[in-house]
Structure 1
Amino acid sequence: MNRRMQAPDNILRIWREFDRFPMETFTKMWYFHQDTEKKQRDVAQMKEHYQQYGITGNCFDLAIWLIDVLKKEGIIAYPIGHGLHSEEAHAAVIALDEKGNRYLCDLGDQWIQPVLIETQHEDYTTEWLTGFFPAANVQVCSSEKQIKIRYLRPNGKISCQLYDPQPVNMEEFLHAAELSQTTIDPKPLFECRVPYKTEIAHWEFNDWEAFLSASDGLFSEPSYNSIEQWATRINEVSGYDQQFLLTTLKWYQKY
Structure 2
Amino acid sequence: MKAPEEILAVWRKFDDFPMETLTKAWLYSKQSNRKQRDVEAMKQHHKEFGVTGNCFDLAIWLLDAFKEAGIEAYPIGSELGTGDDHAAVMAVDRKGRRFLCDLGDQWLQPILIDGDDVAYTDEKLAGFFPGAEVQVLPEKDTFKVVYHRLNGKFSTQIYSTLPVSMKEFLAAADFSQSHVYPKPLLEVRLPWENETAHWEFCNWKSFLSTSKGLVEDPPLSTIDEWVERIHEKTGYDKTLLKESLEYFKGLEESSAS
Task: Tell me which interval the TM-score lies in, with the shorter structure as reference length.
Answer: over 0.9
Over 3 Å off, 4+ runs: none
Secondary structure of the corresponding residue to residue 33 of structure 1? helix
**Paired position in structure 1 for 2:133:** 137
Q: Deviations over 1:20-52 (max 9, x none)?
A: 000000011011123242421000000000000
Structure 2 residue runs of 5 or longer lacking an equivalent are 252-257
**Paired residue total:** 251
Three-state SS of the structure 2 residue aligned to 1:155 is: helix
- The separation in 2 between residues aligned to 1:171 and 1:37, in whole angstroms, is 18
Counterpart CA distance in 2 for 1:26 and 1:39 is: 15
Aligned sequence identity (%): 52
1:122-161 matches, cutoff 5 A? 122-161=118-157
Report the CA distance between 1:168 and its aligned residue: 0.0
How far did 1:154 drift?
1.6
The counterpart of 2:27, out of the listed 31, 35, 40, is 31
Report which of the two has the higher share of helix.
Answer: 2
Aligned to 1:236: 232
Q: Verify the 8 A CA contact 1:155 1:217 in the aligned structure 2.
A: no
CA-CA distance at 1:54 after TM superposition:
0.3
Determine the C-alpha separation between the residues in 2 that align with 1:158 and 1:37.
40
Hey, what does 2:62 align to over in structure 1?
66
Within 5 Å, give how 1:113-128 maps onto structure 2: 113-128=109-124
How far apart are the structure 2 equivalents of 1:217 and 1:37? 42
Determine which of 76, 85, 88 is the counterpart of 2:84: 88
Equivalent of residue 71 in structure 2, options 59, 75, 79: 75
1:228 maps to a residue whose letter is: D
Compute the TM-score of the two structures, normalised by the length of structure 1.
0.97
Q: Secondary structure at the match of 1:17?
A: helix
Alignment root-mean-square deviation, CA:
0.8
In the other structure, the counterpart of 1:191 is 187
2:42 is matched with 46
Task: For residue 30 of structure 2, give the secondary structure of its aligned residue in structure 1.
Answer: coil
